Every structure is written in C-alpha cells, then in structure tokens.
Structure 1
Amino acid sequence: MRVAAFASRPPITAEADISIREAARIMAERRIGLLVLTKGGELYGVVSERDIVRAVAEGVDVEKPASSIATTRIVTVDADADISEAAELFRRHGIRHLVVTKGGELYGVLSIRDLVREREVLRHVADTFAPAFDYVLPSGD
C-alpha cells in the first residue's frame, strides 16, 4: 500500500508571510489540520493546529506572519513509499501530519487520521511491524 493512495491532494498552501489569523481562517474554512507554507513558490514550512493553539495560548500577536510559528524542519515521505514507512515516521517524530513529495516536488499531505480511518491500512501496518514486536517483546515462557 503506497502513501499516494491516501494523501490529500492537492495540498492546501499559502504564502509564508500571511498572518497567523489568516492561516487559522484558511485551516478552519478548508477543515485541515496542516497548512503548507511557501515562499517564492518553494516549500518553506508548515503550520499545524497545535502551532496555532500554542501561539494563542502564549499570547502571540495573531497578526504576526505565520512563518514566525511555522515548523521549517519538515518531515516528508515519498508518495511511492509503503504506508508502513509513513506510520513509522508518525511514531518516531510524534507528529500527526506528513508532507508528501514525489520526485522532490510537493505532492500532498498525509494525516494520521487518514490512516486510522482505513481498516486495511491498520492491518497492513500491524502485519509489517508484528515481526519486530515478536523480536522485542518477551514470549512469556
């Protein structure tokens, strides 16, 4: 099962210099949890729901640019990667969204919610990781 089959396309993007307020409005209007920011047509960073909530809780001026709260060290996964690779990236980085690329270009966004909704994906990921658990967990003998 490939990531491309589950990625939301096209990704919702905005220029990095839009305000935090505008980023939140776009996310609410489009019902997305991650907004991809671009600068001069190039991938710049991402703003998540968590970033918005944290900024508001800390009293950050919501008229500041979204780039001021963006994550610029973006975790990506290739569209042709197996879905178990995406699951491992979610787990390892403790994140809910991955930017999906294809041929080095922005392709889409994958959320952990996209995977959890699909029973077949859960089964595939469980089957992929089961041998690792057998190795790590004691047998109880």
Structure 2
Amino acid sequence: MTTLPVRDLLSRDYVGVSESDAVLGAVQLMREAGETAAVVLRGQDAAGVLTAATVLDRLLDGDDLERTPVADAMNPHPETVTPETTVAEATRRLVGTGTTHLLVTDGSEVVGVLDARDLAAAKRTEQAATTETTTAAGGTEESAVQDGYANQSICEGCGSFSQDLVNVDGQLLCPDCRTV
C-alpha cells in the first residue's frame, strides 16, 4: 500500500454542533450536509463526535431526540489522526478501534472527518493505481494485489470491515450488502 496521507483525501467541510444542541437538530444538520457524523465543539476544540449509529442507538432506547442534548449521545473520546497519517494507518485505526469516524486534527484544531467510505474509496484508488503500474511493467493484475489487503477492506455499503468484498456496480460490498 502506498503512503498516501489522509490530507490528500480529506474534505475540510464538516458539521459542527454544540454539546447543548438537541440531537434532533444536529441530525437535521447532518442530513442537510449529507454527512453521517457531526463534530461536537466546545469553543474551537472537539469535545466529541455524534454519529448516525449513536443516534440510532438513542432512538432505539426510546430517547426523545428533541429534548436529548448532544452531550448525552456523543462519543466523548473520538479517535483522532493527523493530516500526515497514511490511509493504511487510518484504516487500521478505524478497524482496530471499531469506530466509524476519525477526526483529523492538526494540534488541537479539527481539520476534517474521515469515515469508512472515504478510506475505502482511497484504497480502491490506490489498488487501481497499483494494478495499472504493475500491468504496465509487464506483470499481471493478480501480482498487483498480493500485498495482503486485496481481499479485506471496508465495505462501501455499510462501512464494516470485511475479508470478502466483491465489486458490485463499482462499489466494494460485503456479503450482507450484496443481498440488499
């Protein structure tokens, strides 16, 4: 895998909410922005992250999302990486911690958010570049993906780690997502 840093795939736009905001309001902002997470800010510093998964958990627990403050639903200890972190290392952190989002921080400042889909897209781009380079050098496609990661990555449908991904209409999908 190449050493592509996450800063090269990072969108610097993210949804920011306050700890005192209602979860429902935060979810509406996330939906309008097309995001699955919001950075919970205390001033300019990240106090946590609110994800669609945590919101669903709260909904299933019967919480009133109009009255529940973001502080009660957020993850107060989000995983962070720096802009120089490689895609490979960020993927290992995401999978290894079981989280769905990584905050990209430069010092104490949040510069962006990465999710499994961002990393999967970057991995697919890296694999395509590796295949093209290897094929152009006279190799085969099979030799280009024998780095141990070719058959395991993050599903672009659900964001879960899988060792059995298949390309379906241009997306790498796990067995559960292929049946949907």
Counterpart in the other structure of 2:125: 120
% identical equivalent positions: 25
Q: Deviations over 1:93-133 (max 9, x none)?
A: 11221000123321100111012223224567x97x639xx
Counterpart in the other structure of 1:50: 53
- Asked if residue 130 in structure 1 is aligned to residue 148 in structure 2, the reply is yes
TM-score scaled to structure 2, two decimals?
0.66
5+ residue gaps, structure 1, are 132-141
The structure with the largest helix share of the pair is: 1
CA distance in 2: counterparts of 1:54 and 1:122, whole angstroms:
35
* Contact 2:13/2:112 (8 A) holds in 1: yes
Query: Which structure's CA Rg is the greater one?
Result: 2
Q: Deviations over 1:28-76 (max 9, x none)?
A: 1111011000123321110000011111111112111111011011100
CA distance in 1: counterparts of 2:45 and 2:9, whole angstroms:
23
Aligned CA distance change for structure 1 residues 24 and 122 (closer, same or farther; 3 Å): farther
**Where has structure 1 moved over 3 Å in runs of 4 or more?**
121-124
* Contact 1:36/1:46 (8 A) holds in 2: yes
Corresponding residue pairs, total: 130
What RMSD, in angstroms, separates the aligned Cα atoms of the two structures?
Answer: 2.2
Counterpart in the other structure of 1:2: 5
5+ residue gaps, structure 2, are 131-143, 150-180
Aligned CA distance change for structure 1 residues 44 and 67 (closer, same or farther; 3 Å): same
